Amino acid sequence: MLPSLLLYGLINSVILALTALGFSLTYGISRVANFAHGALYVLAGFAAWVFLNRLQMNYYGALALAIIATGVIGVLIYRFALIRVRGMPLLEIIVTFALGTAVLETLRYFGFFGSHYTLPPLFRGSVILFGVPVDRQRVALVVIGGVLVFVLWLLTHHTRIGLAFRAMAQDEQAAMMSGIDSDRMATLSLAFGAALVGLAAVVLLPLSFIATESGAHILVSAIAVCILGGLESPAGVIVASLLIGYAQIFTVAYLGPHYQMIVALFAILITLILKPSGLFGKQKELEERV
């Protein structure tokens, strides 16, 4: 039993990390909590489905285009809605939440519901790892998650745009004094965050099907991971994903599956009580110490 728990705990953790990385990246750079995150996940899934089934596009082309389209929508969200309320956190949340709800309800209105909206997996079949059967798509997820983290590290440490992102994350005013365009960086943060959740959608949705209901679930998961790890911390996202991912799997195995849902909510509650800035968050660390 233990090998299967360890293996599926890792897979669950990678799934959580994939869904949360985009939210964390956007918040880390622009301080915008993008509550349309879950809706963008669903939208990316349906976009891939439309490109694949209605436009008869090539499989990888459809997935890539869906990711890019989601990134473009991130740009539009910033340029047409968020730019007007930037710096007012409550309004940013209301605007993004409203946009997310509008996207999901519009999808429903146009008939995007039912379990027939599915994406084919990247890899079919299963393999035995450490005596535990696991399907190839889940193995691929772990690899994709690892590669993604490495690419993000390279981007933020070895490219001009990545260094600008980090400068914005550390101190926006100082970054602006150095000639970094704050609005441009915030736009890019929304684009990257949206594209990342788009990537999560096209690799995760072949495991299940595309449903508007999953938007809320993805948003709650991403928020739980980011709050536990520290809202703006990529390292925190990785650690928090592992903590929540394994906690969920062990809860299912030893307490029962119906307690699985409360693990993430419990993590939010405990973190906000004991260390509101999260495990690796710096945002309110000083106030907490005081």
Partner 1 sequence: MKTKSLWFSPMMVLVVVGFGFFPGASSMAQQKGQPIVIGAPLSTQYLYGWDAQRAMLLAVEEINAKGGVQVGKTRRPFSLEVLDTRDLEPGVPLSEALLVVEKLILEKKADVLMGGPVRSEAALAAMDLIAKHKKVSILTTGSLTPAYHRRVAENYSKYKYLFRITSEAVQLSKEAVDLFESLKQEFGFDQIFIMVQDVAHARAIGDIVGKSLASKGWKVLGTEVYPTGALDYSTGLLKARDQKAQILFVWMDHPEIAILVKQWRDLKIPALPIAGISSAVEQPGGWANTDGAVAYWVASPANAGNAPSNATPLTMKFYDAYKKRWLVEPEGYGTSSSYTAVYVLADAIKRAGSLDSDRLVAALEKTDMVGVYGKIAFDPKSHQVIPSYDPKEGAVGTWFQWQDQKRVVIWPAPIAMGKIRIPPTLSPAK
Binding site for partner 1 (CB under 8 A): 1, 4-5, 8, 12, 108, 113-116, 118, 120-121, 124-126, 132-135, 207-209, 211, 213-214, 216-217, 249, 252-253, 256-258, 260-261
Q: Which residues of 78-88 are buried (b: 16+ CB within 10 A; e: fewer)?
A: beebbeebbee
Transcribe 223-267 into DSSP letters: HHHHHHH-TT-HHHHHHHHHHHHHHHHHHHHHT-GGGHHHHHHHH
Q: Which is nearer to partner 1, 59 or 80 (CB)?
A: 59
Q: Which is nearer to partner 1, 4 or 182 (CB)?
A: 4
CB of 81 to partner 1, least distance (A): 25
CB of 258 to partner 1, least distance (A): 5
Specify the DSSP element, H or E, that contains 60: helix 59-77
CB of 36 to partner 1, least distance (A): 17
Q: Which is nearer to partner 1, 5 or 161 (CB)?
A: 5
**Token pair 């365009």: residue:** 181
Q: Which is nearer to partner 1, 124 or 184 (CB)?
A: 124
Q: Which is nearer to partner 1, 9 or 230 (CB)?
A: 9
CB of 16 to partner 1, least distance (A): 11
CB of 110 to partner 1, least distance (A): 12
Helix axes 182-204, 214-229, angle to 10 degrees: 120
Q: Let me know: does 226 contact 196? Beta carbons within 8 Å.
A: no
DSSP state of 184: H
CA angle 22, 26, 32 (to 5 degrees): 135
